[in-house]
Structure 1
Amino acid sequence: MDDDIERLRSLLLAMNEVDVEAAEYHKLRAQLISELVRMRAEQDLLERLRPIQDQVERIGTRDPDFDLKSFMDASWE
């Protein structure tokens, strides 16, 4: 997590006197995570895969002459 965001989070929790060790905090955190997971699951699969596809496009086209076995064998030497 970004240092600035972490500092802001800590400050917010301290100003609101939130006890991060309290069961209520952990319950709320679990509920928030559960909701995020649920919302993420509702996204269309193609929407979730798009960032990965974009990264693959940035890598470029595959070298048709690339021999993975030879590459792996050489890395063991």
Structure 2
Amino acid sequence: MDDDIERLRRILLAMSEVDVEAAEYRELRAQLISELVRMQAEKDLLERLRPIQDQVERIGTRDPDFQLKNFMDAGWK
């Protein structure tokens, strides 16, 4: 999390005297996380995969002569 956002979160919690150990806080936190997960799951699969596909495209085409075993063996030397 961004340092400024984390600092502001701490200030807000301190000023509002929120008890982060309270059951209500933990329940609210769980509900927020659940909602974020639900919203992420609603995204179309292709939309969720697009950032990964973009990274693969930036890497470039696959070398047909690449030998993974030789590459890994060289990493151990």
The alignment of Structure 1 onto Structure 2 pairs a total of residues equal to 77
Corresponding position of 1:54 = 54
Q: Which has the higher mean CA deviation after the structures are superposed, 37-46 or 55-64?
A: 55-64
The residue type paired with residue 67 of structure 1 is Q
**TM-score scaled by length of structure 1:** 0.90
Distance 1:9 1:29 in 2: 13
Shift of 1:76: 2.4
Which contiguous aligned blocks of 4+ residues in structure 1 show a shift greater than 2 angstroms?
Answer: none
**TM-score scaled by length of structure 2:** 0.90
Shift of 1:17: 1.4
Map 1:1-77; keep pairs closer than 5 Å: 1-77=1-77
The residue type paired with residue 47 of structure 2 is E
Aligned-CA RMSD value: 1.1
- Where structure 2 has 5 or more consecutive residues not aligned to the other structure, the ranges are none
